[in-house]
Structure 1
Amino acid sequence: MTADQWLIPPLLDSIPPSILAKADVLVTKASFLAGLLAPETAACLSRQLKVSDAEYSRIIDGHNTDLAVLEDANNLASTQSTLAEITELRRRLIAALAHHYHLVQTQPLSDGNGAVARLIVHIHFAQIGLHPQLWSLSRGVARRQEEYHAALGRTGGTQERLLAGGFQRTDQASLTFIEFMLDVCHEEVDYMTAALNRRKLRESVTNAFNTNSRLIEAGIRAEIAPAFLALLIQGALSRPEFKTFTGLQPEAASNQVGRLINIGLVVSPPSDVSLLEVGLPIWFAHEILPGLHMTR
């Protein structure tokens, strides 16, 4: 990419109130989602989403993007792409999506710029405080990829060239894309928030401890569910606290802790074996986040 392509395009002079309102609400929703998760649980979730994002990008773009390209883009974006000059938060959000549109419009599709542009948006969203590591923009785009490509002016996997030697897109086309992407963002934040609210989380964990074949085969007792739920919500507990939550006798509780560690659902940091932290292997993530991954 050239230096000019990293520049964030000027904001449109007139942004419809409906788009500004969607941007406002998204900021509030993302903050609420972040408040649901302890740091340790958020870190586990972020790792799972990073893995799923790579697969969703392949679905969206039809190919795997070279990791070196993404790394270069990440390094350049971190130093050259900034929204700091835009003081209003909701307009920063809109500018981030406009930048995505600009990047894809100014580069050939074959260069993998869809994945690069989404990476740049992720960086912008992190700067804004939208906690993009806790929800997946790529998942939302993949679920609505035909609309995504249409909003970018792609037909049959190719970019629509309107003028020889370049692209010409109207302000209305840019606004249509931005509004579509805002809708996708709302859907994904809503999905994560609904799955991680306390009542739903309790239902999902209880069901998993009663029916999941891995847990049953590992000898994990169903009555351990409330203790694990407490760990999932708090992120970390001391071993004595966790054992107390199980309601079991000390020897039985220790046995169950060992089994949970063996299957990766609980982690004991080498630096502090008296502490237990939540683990979130992919098979269990499916229990609390149904539909997180999709295949084609």
Structure 2
Amino acid sequence: MSDATPRIFTQMTTEHWLHPTIPDSIPTSTLARADELVRKTSFLAGMVAPETASCLSELLEVTNTHYSSVIDGCPSEPKVLERASILENQHYTFDDIPEHRRRIVAVLCQHYQLLHRRTPRDGIGTFTRTLTFEHFAQLGLQPHLWSLSRGLGRRLDEYQSATGMNDPMQTDGLEGAQQLIGVGLLAFIDFMLDVCHEEVGYMIAALNRRRLHESITHAHRTSSHLRESGIRREMMPALLALLIQGALPRSEFVTFTGLPSEAANDQLKLLIHLGVVVSPPSNPQRLEVGLPAWFAQDLLPDFHLA
């Protein structure tokens, strides 16, 4: 990180640029899309057991870091992410906005306006996306289960064009702020909502039971890790059940395989060795799902997970 980067956060804090300017009139269609995003992310969260969600969250951190580097053209700085979280918690929330859907719109307004400020550019993109992530989490949009950065990285030209990331730095002051309100901002909000819906929809499709069954079956046929370890096809239903439920008693997992107890336990030891199944030391009779990147890649083939 350059020496100029810390001034980003000092300047934004002292000038209160964490407080967005929101359009007086927001189209009904935009508000409806924000409402739908709340329902959609809630549905996604309901599909995923806590243990599976924890594994996915760790994997998506890798995805977010990769696509942040793609967007910014350089590796993401952990210190920027830390400052984003600190500032978010200490300086501005959206509690003064009465409607939940308008709070979502306000977060997107903040994202747009921060990227248009006349500040040193080092780290501002990562800071802004992380701040948006934190606000989405506060608003219950489950951002740990889908990747905004992936969506923006896949539509990078549109994102850069909408935010002026490649343009000369804008002017400061009230006049500059007013220039950021209008058609460009409303178009950006709709663009961001589209990206959010696309990414949440992708995860919903990937994690539905039918797709998971297909993915696990495909993994058994094609994964060198499973094949070289001698994992039998009969273990796939048990793996599917574990993935859906997040955790199972060891005896129930063995029953799902349909194999004799000794054979099933031998296979289970192989899966634990591969990291696909986890046996907590504190409770050896409980099994939890594991998602090493090579296995998760079969469930989320278009993600960057390693």
TM-score, length-normalised on structure 1? 0.94
Q: Which moved more, 1:61-70 or 1:283-292?
A: 61-70
8 Å contact 2:276–2:292 — kept in the other structure? yes
Measure the CA separation in 2 of the matches of 1:44 and 1:109: 36
Seen in structure 2, the aligned counterparts of structure 1 residues 51 and 287 have a Cα distance that, compared at 3 Å, is same
- AA in 2 matched with 1:264: G
Per-residue CA deviations over 1:26-59 (Å, capped at 9, x if unaligned) read 1111111111000000000000001110010000
State the secondary structure of the residue aligned to 2:288.
strand
Measure the CA separation in 1 of the matches of 2:233 and 2:109: 49
8 Å contact 2:238–2:256 — kept in the other structure? yes
Does residue 49 (structure 1) correspond to residue 55 (structure 2)? The answer is: no
Shift of 1:7: 3.0
Per-residue CA deviations over 1:113-152 (Å, capped at 9, x if unaligned) read 1111010110110111000000000000000011000001
Per-residue CA deviations over 1:77-109 (Å, capped at 9, x if unaligned) read 122231111121111110111111121112546
Seen in structure 2, the aligned counterparts of structure 1 residues 89 and 105 have a Cα distance that, compared at 3 Å, is same
| 2:265 aligned partner | 254
* Aligned with residue 287 of structure 2, among 258, 271, 276: 276
Identity %: 53
State the secondary structure of the residue aligned to 2:230.
coil
* Aligned with residue 170 of structure 2, among 161, 169, 173: 161
| 2:154 aligned partner | 143
Measure the CA separation in 1 of the matches of 2:197 and 2:119: 29
Shift of 1:6: 4.8
| 2:301 aligned partner | 290
- AA in 1 matched with 2:286: L
Per-residue CA deviations over 1:252-284 (Å, capped at 9, x if unaligned) read 111011000101100111111111000001111
Shift of 1:160: 5.0
8 Å contact 1:6–1:81 — kept in the other structure? no
Q: Which moved more, 1:109-118 or 1:3-12?
A: 3-12
Does residue 102 (structure 1) correspond to residue 95 (structure 2)? The answer is: no
* Aligned with residue 209 of structure 1, among 183, 206, 220: 220
8 Å contact 2:117–2:172 — kept in the other structure? no
| 2:210 aligned partner | 199
Does residue 93 (structure 1) correspond to residue 104 (structure 2)? The answer is: yes
Per-residue CA deviations over 1:200-241 (Å, capped at 9, x if unaligned) read 111111111222111010111111100000000000001111
Does residue 171 (structure 1) correspond to residue 185 (structure 2)? The answer is: no
- AA in 2 matched with 1:104: L
State the secondary structure of the residue aligned to 1:237.
strand
Per-residue CA deviations over 1:157-204 (Å, capped at 9, x if unaligned) read 344536899674232211111111000001000100011111111111
Does residue 186 (structure 1) correspond to residue 194 (structure 2)? The answer is: no
| 2:235 aligned partner | 224
- AA in 2 matched with 1:143: R
Structure 2 alignment gaps of length 5 or more: 1-8
- AA in 1 matched with 2:197: H
Measure the CA separation in 2 of the matches of 1:94 and 1:22: 10
| 2:75 aligned partner | 64
State the secondary structure of the residue aligned to 2:287.
strand
| 2:3 aligned partner | none
- AA in 2 matched with 1:282: A
Measure the CA separation in 2 of the matches of 1:163 and 1:255: 66
| 2:251 aligned partner | 240
Does residue 125 (structure 1) correspond to residue 125 (structure 2)? The answer is: no
Measure the CA separation in 2 of the matches of 1:97 and 1:202: 36
8 Å contact 1:206–1:226 — kept in the other structure? no
Measure the CA separation in 1 of the matches of 2:284 and 2:81: 37
Measure the CA separation in 2 of the matches of 1:219 and 1:91: 53
Tell me how many residue pairs correspond in the alignment.
Answer: 293
Shift of 1:110: 2.8
